[in-house]
């Protein structure tokens, strides 16, 4: 029986078209719909599945960020996580927080909580870094199973099918391990209303990086955040013949 730590991040909802701030310091996040990073929902779902199969004994959902991060912890609790840990970082500190910091926080919590498995999403859809699982595994010297498509518990550890560029690959890892969830690992469940109510009573602990002994000194300076170049507006063609004509004009055929 193992204890699972799941990392969940509060991000701007995937359906929102983000806008860059006029002063080029970042994107507009105030008054914009946020939700749990979609890959993290998949990570939570996988942890719950492990618990349902009696492989996991307890699921701890962790989020690092401002007070509002507690919303995504509550969502994880409503899906089936047992308790939450909110690591509070806000303001400018949070703006410059990177996977290197998160990985140290997750690693410390995993040791404190005696977790055997850490599951996170393969990337957050805001910074698109795709680093946290790999870095957490490195801090702990645990094996990593990134971009998981399928995870099976065996007597010796885990059998993991991973999504790679040319197809799929299978690896075996020992436990403890760090996993990152790819899109096709599972379909996350919805939190039902009764479970959302119950989640409000589940324990949620609040700590700071300082409590955990993790230094969050920034490693980067943001010089600018800008709009991507706008593509020249194209034109509709009336039929296939006109399309063929345009392709010829462009030297494509």
Partner 1 sequence: MFSSNARNLIRSSLINRCKSTLVVAEHNNEALNPITLNTISAAKKIGGDVTVLVAGTKCGPASEALTKVEGVAKVLVAENAAFKGFTPESITPLVLAAQSQFKFTHILAAATAFGKNVLPRVASKLDVSPISEIIDVKSEDTFVRTIYAGNAILTLRSTDPVKVITVRGTNFAPVAATGGSGAIEQAPTGDYASQLSEFVSQELTKSDRPELTGAKVIVSGGRGLKSGDNFKLLYDLADKFGAAVGASRAAVDAGYVPNDLQIGQTGKIVAPQLYIAVGISGAIQHLAGMKDSKTIVAINKDAEAPIFQVADIGLVADLFKAVPELTGKL
**CA angle (155 as vertex; 149, 158 as ends), nearest 5:** 20
Among 3, 35, 139, 212, binds partner 1 (CB under 8 A): 139
Least separation, in Å, of the C-beta of 102 and partner 1?
11
Of the pair 83, 184, the CB lying nearest partner 1 is at 184
Binding mask 144-173 toward partner 1 (x if CB under 8 A, else -) reads xxxx-x---------x--xxxxxxxxxxxx
As a whole number of angstroms, the distance between CA 201 and CA 77 comes to 10
Mark residues 31-70: x for contact with partner 1 by CB under 8 A, - for none. Answer: --------x-------------------------------
Rounded to whole angstroms, how far apart are CA atoms 145 and 122?
10
Whether residue 131 contacts residue 9, with contact meaning beta carbons closer than 8 Å, is answered with no
Pick from 3, 83, 127, 204: which binds partner 1 (CB under 8 A)? 127
Among 116, 131, 207, 212, binds partner 1 (CB under 8 A): 131
Q: Quick check: 1 binds partner 1 (CB under 8 A)?
A: no
Member of 12, 87, 118, 199 binding partner 1 (CB under 8 A): 12
Residue closer to partner 1 (CB basis): 91 or 232: 232
134's tokens: 């790999």
Q: Are 110 and 118 in contact (CB under 8 A)?
A: yes
Closest to partner 1 by CB, 168 vs 197, is: 168
Residue with tokens 């509070």: 88
Query: Applying CB under 8 A, which of residues 32, 111, 197, 243 lies at the interface with partner 1?
Result: 243
Q: Shortest approach of partner 1 to residue 56 CB, angstroms? A: 20
CA dihedral sign of residues 125, 101, 186, 205: negative
Omega cis (within 30) before 176: yes
For partner 1, give the closer residue by CB, 19 or 206.
19
First to last CA, the chain: 61
Single residue of 184, 195, 196, 207 touching partner 1 by CB under 8 A: 184
Using CB under 8 A as the binding rule, whether residue 212 contacts partner 1 is answered as: no
Residue number with CB closer to partner 1 (201 or 231): 231
118 binds partner 1 (CB under 8 A): no
Please report whether residue 135 would count as binding partner 1 according to CB under 8 A.
yes
CB of 191 to partner 1, least distance (A): 22
Count CA atoms closer than 13 A to 234's CA, side-chain side: 5
Quickly count: other Cβ atoms within 10 Å of residue 201's Cβ: 8
- Asked if residue 126 binds partner 1 (CB under 8 A), the reply is yes
- Phi-psi category of 244—alpha, beta or left, where left has phi over 0 and alpha has psi -120 to 50? alpha
Handedness of CA 208, 13, 150, 54 (dihedral sign): positive
Place of tokens 């618990």: 51
């Amino acid at each position: 029986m193992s204890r699972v730590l799941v990392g969940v991040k509060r991000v701007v909802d995937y359906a929102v078209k983000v806008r860059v701030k006029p002063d080029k310091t970042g994107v507009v996040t105030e008054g914009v719909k946020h939700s749990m990073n979609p890959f993290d929902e998949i990570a939570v779902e996988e942890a719950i599945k492990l618990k349902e199969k009696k492989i996991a004994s307890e699921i701890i959902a962790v989020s690092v960020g401002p007070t509002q991060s507690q919303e995504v912890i509550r969502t994880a609790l409503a899906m089936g996580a047992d308790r939450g840990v909110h690591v509070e970082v806000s303001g400018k500190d949070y703006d410059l927080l990177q996977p290197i910091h998160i990985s140290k926080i997750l690693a410390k919590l995993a040791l404190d909580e005696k977790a055997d498995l850490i599951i996170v999403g393969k990337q957050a859809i805001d910074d698109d870094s795709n680093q946290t699982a790999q870095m957490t595994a490195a801090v702990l010297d645990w094996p990593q199973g990134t971009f998981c498509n399928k995870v099976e518990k065996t007597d010796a550890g885990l059998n993991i099918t991973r999504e790679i560029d040319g197809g799929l690959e299978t690896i075996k890892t020992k436990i403890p391990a760090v996993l990152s969830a790819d899109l096709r690992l599972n379909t996350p469940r919805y939190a039902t209303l009764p479970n959302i109510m119950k989640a409000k009573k589940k324990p949620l602990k609040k700590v700071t990086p300082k409590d955990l002994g993790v230094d969050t000194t920034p490693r980067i300076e943001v010089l600018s955040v800008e709009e991507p170049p706008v593509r020249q507006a194209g034109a509709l063609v009336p039929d296939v013949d006109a399309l063929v004509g345009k392709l010829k004009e462009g030297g494509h055929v």
